[in-house]
Amino acid sequence: MAYCMRHVTEDILWVGASDRRLALFENLFPLPNGVSYNAYLLLDEKTALIDTVDASVAHRQMENVAQALGGRALDYLVVNHLEPDHCANILDILSQYPEARLVTTDKGLKLLNQFYDCDLGERVLLVKEGDQLALGKHVLRFIAAPMVHWPEVTMAFDETDGVLFSADAFGTFGALSGSIFADELPFARDWLADARRYYANIVGKYGVQVQNVLKKAAGLPIKMICPLHGPIWREDLGYILGKYDLWSRGVPEARAVAIFYGSMYGHTENAADILAMQLAEAGVQNIVAYDVSKTDVSYLISELFRVSHVVLAAPTYNNNLYRPMETLLSDMKALCLHDRTFALIENGSWAPQSGKLMSYALGEMKNMTVLTPTATLRSALTPATREALSRLAEAVAKDVEAGEEEAGGTGRREDN
């Protein structure tokens, strides 16, 4: 009697589970709001379970599937993605339901055999792009989504009801608490930031591949999107599709400034705060500032997907770059971030190097513009530094405003 599930449509049930205990997704990304592992059971003449869940909630899924089937056999287990947060329960499901055939691609089967020592023989049904699986009234069509964000990923499209089972795409961090549909939640206010952080850090490197899938999706009569994490989209699909289009093309959501500073004794922080005030006085709206030493880098990466302009401020450390700033720049390069505008503040008590090093790191990325002049502190603020910051603020404000005119917008932040 431990089942906990909801109808998605008359024939589709959400049979996943949420985890609010896990601290770090992939043992990397903080989960202050938990995470959901979604799975869906389609009941027709044939029955199909679409994906399994993480090991931490595997028993919940077993209860849900058993209850939803109500004594019927499971005919198919469709596996769209072989990452362990969705494939941990595969062997238990196949063991519990011996009639079930596992539906996956050749790449999916290869990964399955790497994760598990199993020989499923005739129980495997291999599919590829465009193949269909008839369940009765419903027909699933498979859509390849390679490198969104693993090579084997497929999506399944229910041609009857227009439901896209989208694997990780359109997913987000955050546990589901009863409300499983985005339209039941204040999504823009409470969920968008984590949806962006999920996209930026998990899928963000693969913008070209996401664009390819969005082009395929544009040709489908999609009425609902069922991702593997976070809420289901059944209204205002254009909202999340639009965000994905911007994020995957590397286009900022807002003409806005994020200031990322590292500071050992508060002087660089002081400069960052002064610059923020100068920017505000120059008319820039939507300025946010983060201490890179105490902010998990996943949040900084997420903001980099949102804003048009970024100020990096950091001390020189051992004739190198202050380590948390170095980590951020290294992550930006690894995730192939591109097309942003930067301003730099450096500090160094006897040999300032951080400005040059930040500039060099940005130069290794695509289409990163660095505004001049870099503001230099030698230990602490002086009237001359304040003047240099003022010139930098002017340059940033002018550039933000120029883009606003081009975009025809105000840059005012409407959602987080």
Residue whose Cβ sits closest to ligand FEO: 83
Q: Find the shortest distance in angstroms from Cβ 19 to ligand FEO.
A: 12
Residue from 29, 68, 76, 81 that binds ligand FEO (CB under 6 A)? 81
Q: Is 228 in the site for ligand FEO (CB under 6 A)?
A: yes
Q: Is 56 exposed, middle or buried (0-12, 13-18, 19+ CB in 10 A)?
A: middle
Residue 19 vs 85, nearer CB to ligand FEO: 85
Give the interface segment with ligand FEO, choosing from 81-89, 207-215, 324-332, 384-392 (CB under 6 A): 81-89
Task: CB nearer to ligand FEO: give 148 or 388.
Answer: 148
Of 77-85, 154-162, 179-187, 373-381, which segment contacts ligand FEO by CB under 6 A?
Answer: 77-85
Exposed, middle or buried: residue 216 (CB in 10 Å: 0-12, 13-18, 19+)? Answer: middle
To ligand FEO, the closest distance from the beta carbon of 229 in angstroms equals 6
Provide the H-helix boundaries in 220-311. 237-249, 267-281, 297-306
**To the nearest whole angstrom, how small is the minimum distance from the Cβ of residue 152 to ligand FEO?**
10
Phi-psi region of 234 (alpha: psi -120 to 50; beta: other; left: phi over 0): alpha
User: Taking the complex as a whole, how short is the minimal distance between the CB of residue 167 and ligand FEO, in angstroms?
Assistant: 7
Q: Which of 83, 158, 194, 346 binds ligand FEO (CB under 6 A)?
A: 83
Q: DSSP class of residue 235?
A: S
**Shortest reach from residue 156's CB to ligand FEO, in Å:** 16
Shortest distance, position 175 Cβ to ligand FEO, whole Å? 14
Q: Nearer to ligand FEO by C-beta: 83 or 346?
A: 83
Shortest distance, position 130 Cβ to ligand FEO, whole Å:
23
User: Rg for the chain (alpha carbons), in Å?
Assistant: 24
C-alpha to C-alpha distance for 377 and 386, rounded to whole angstroms: 9
C-alpha closest to that of 315 among 257, 378, 384, 259: 378
Toward ligand FEO, which CB reaches closer, 25 or 290? Answer: 25
Cβ–Cβ under 8 Å, residues 320 and 288: no
Give the side-chain half-sphere CA count within 13 A for 136.
Answer: 10
Site for ligand FEO in 160-179 (CB under 6 A): 168
Cis before 149 (ω within 30):
yes
Cα distance between residue 91 and residue 93, in whole Å: 5
- Could you say which residues in the range 92-151 bind ligand FEO, by CB under 6 A? 149-150
Q: Which is nearer to ligand FEO, 230 or 324 (CB)?
A: 230
Which of 171/262 has CB closer to ligand FEO?
171
**Is the CB of residue 218 less than 8 Å from the CB of residue 157?**
no
Cα angle value 128/134/136 (rounded, 5°): 165
| Closest CA relative to residue 8, chosen from 185, 234, 168 | 234
Residues near ligand FEO (CB under 6 A) are 81, 83, 85-86, 149-150, 168, 228-229
